[in-house]
Amino acid sequence: MASVRTLAIATVVCLGVVIVSSEDTERHERNRSRRNIFQTMMMLSCITEKSSFDYSDYGCYCGPGGQGKPVDILDQCCKVHDECYGTAEKNCFPLFEYIGVYEYECKDRKISCAIEDKTKLSCREFLCECDRKVNLCLTKNEKEYNSAYFNMDQAKCK
């Protein structure tokens, strides 16, 4: 029987494929995009050739859940992202980090969040910054990707 983690990953992957396949790349490069849980995946596809699915079940923190010590710098990027989402959940409302929709622009492989007031970020803006930062971190360190950490046994994350 499939584990809850496997089912969650399969669901995210399937929904991600639908969104990614329906995305008009030129429009994505030119215009602001509005998404919810899949916005972080779309951001990554804008700034790198690496697939977001490569990180959907990587190490201890990239993908659903997260515990233990990060296995490498990429996993550390995802741990920081999880912590950022935790802050969003505390300061906004439960599950906001999974359903909140924000605006961002991706142009020339650069991501910018639509921020109205730089002195105080709204929940949407904060969430966008969480996603922007994890994608920059993953892209900056993508040469460190180790396929041995993909679909890793989570028992090693304790």
Catalytic residues: 81, 131
* Residue 44 contacts residue 78 (beta carbons within 8 Å): no
Q: Is 145 annotated as a binding residue?
A: no
* Residue 158 contacts residue 60 (beta carbons within 8 Å): no
φ and ψ of 92, to 5 deg: -110, -105
Alpha-carbon distance of 2 to 37, in angstroms, equals 23
Q: Is 65 annotated as a binding residue?
A: yes
* Residue 56 contacts residue 63 (beta carbons within 8 Å): yes
Q: Is 63 annotated as a binding residue?
A: yes
Handedness of CA 55, 56, 57, 59 (dihedral sign): positive
The strand pairing partners of 58, in sequence order, are 62, 150
Q: Is 82 annotated as a binding residue?
A: yes
Which residues belong to the annotated binding site for Ca(2+)?
61, 63, 65, 82
